[in-house]
Amino acid sequence: MTVYGIVIPSACHCLQRDLFFENCAIKTIKETIMAVKDIKLDTPQDIAELLDLEDFGQIYRLADQVRNEHMGDTVHMRAIIEFSNVCKRQCIYCGLNKSNREISRFRMSRREIEETARQAVMAGYRTVVLQSGEDDYFTAERLGKIVGDVKALDGFQDTGPPIVTLSCGELTREEYAYLKEKGADRYLLKHETADDALYSRLHPCGELKSRINCLRDLKEVGYETGSGFMIGLPGQSLETVGKDLLLLKELSCEMAGIGPFISNPKTPLAGEQNGSTELARRAVAIARLLLPKANLPVTTSLAILAPEENPFDFGANVIMKKVTPDEYKEAYEIYPAEYSKTNIVRDKKELEEKIRFYNRVPK
């Protein structure tokens, strides 16, 4: 198998492979970057073999160097407001799916959203992510007003209006275009899995084809577009992950969130094993090689399952922080997690300290 111009021995020849890496002639960052430019990650099978390596250290280092070369040492902090947990869909891994009667549903008011965004912007966040379930109450017109409110939070900083990212699910092309006109800059819509049959099993109310069409629409109407997927979904193989990564590349995603699946006891996938954090890190590293200039967040699910690991040494350059008010935060339960009380200013300072602790530059 050829990767970045290097022949990688297959997983069953671990000894030879380790010797190969020890003897690898890559000595400088420049040489490594040159090698990176030749990498071949053309098929799901290529990627599956890479993901299956016993020792992934060399690939992690390549990914980190590519991140450094293309994105620098900055870690971008995003404030995320989860403004509605009402959802009309039934994704079977998600605690917000409409069949779950065990959570209390909420919708933040327009003023609450604006006030939360104002606090985030005053605390120094430059990007506000507005996320919700697929909630028909928030029509494009209502969402457009909210986007306008947040974009108007100019004047707290000398950096101009905040960047607004929406993550509100599948809408029509016209609705996406309308929200773009109202000022939305970016849109996140994870494809979750690029395997058609697996997608259908996980999403009784949707089709992979429609999701991909939405992502294409988002690109065409001018959004900085993000997708992403989960690691460790029941029925997923390493080749599926390869397909997922190649789909990100095919769509030329500017952002990609890749995190481990966490089983939610209030869903049909209760009791399933959580996804591997190691595999999630490997997938992020390969995403960095495939999309050198993409914004790749450390996903919340990865941070929850592996809180002690360095979140920034495998290609990621973005981190999101919930600023959702406490009365709603617990109810936005896609998967179970414990959160401390929100204090937007203090939380941001702690995040900055964490980023600096790992020798990276918070922004």
| Residues forming the site for ligand SF4 (CB under 6 A) | 87, 89, 91, 94, 96-97, 133-134, 169, 334
Q: How far is the CB of 144 from ligand SF4 (least distance, A)?
A: 20
Q: Which is nearer to ligand SF4, 133 or 144 (CB)?
A: 133
Beta bridge partners of 7: 2
Q: Which is nearer to ligand SF4, 62 or 129 (CB)?
A: 129
Q: How far is the CB of 159 from ligand SF4 (least distance, A)?
A: 31
Taking the C-alpha atoms of residue 352 and residue 295, their distance in angstroms, rounded to an integer, is: 18
Q: How far is the CB of 57 from ligand SF4 (least distance, A)?
A: 34
Q: Which is nearer to ligand SF4, 97 or 324 (CB)?
A: 97
How would you class 210 by CB atoms within 10 Å of its CB: exposed for 0-12, middle for 13-18, buried for 19 or more?
A: exposed
Q: How far is the CB of 334 from ligand SF4 (least distance, A)?
A: 6
Quickly tell me which residue has 């947040």 as its tokens. Answer: 150
Query: 59 and 286 in contact (C-beta within 8 Å)?
Result: yes
Give the β-pairing of 186-188 and 6-7. unpaired
Q: Which residues of 56-79 are buried (b: 16+ CB within 10 A; e: fewer)?
A: bebbbbbbbbbbeeebeeebbbbb
Query: 283 and 326 in contact (C-beta within 8 Å)?
Result: no
Beta bridge partners of 74: 361
Q: How far is the CB of 88 from ligand SF4 (least distance, A)?
A: 7
Taking the C-alpha atoms of residue 311 and residue 302, their distance in angstroms, rounded to an integer, is: 9
Query: 75 and 311 in contact (C-beta within 8 Å)?
Result: no
Q: How far is the CB of 192 from ligand SF4 (least distance, A)?
A: 8
Q: Which is nearer to ligand SF4, 214 or 334 (CB)?
A: 334
Give the β-pairing of 127-132 and 74-84. parallel
Q: How far is the CB of 183 from ligand SF4 (least distance, A)?
A: 23
Q: Which is nearer to ligand SF4, 65 or 132 (CB)?
A: 132
Taking the C-alpha atoms of residue 252 and residue 269, their distance in angstroms, rounded to an integer, is: 31
Q: Which is nearer to ligand SF4, 162 or 260 (CB)?
A: 260
Q: Which is nearer to ligand SF4, 132 or 317 (CB)?
A: 132
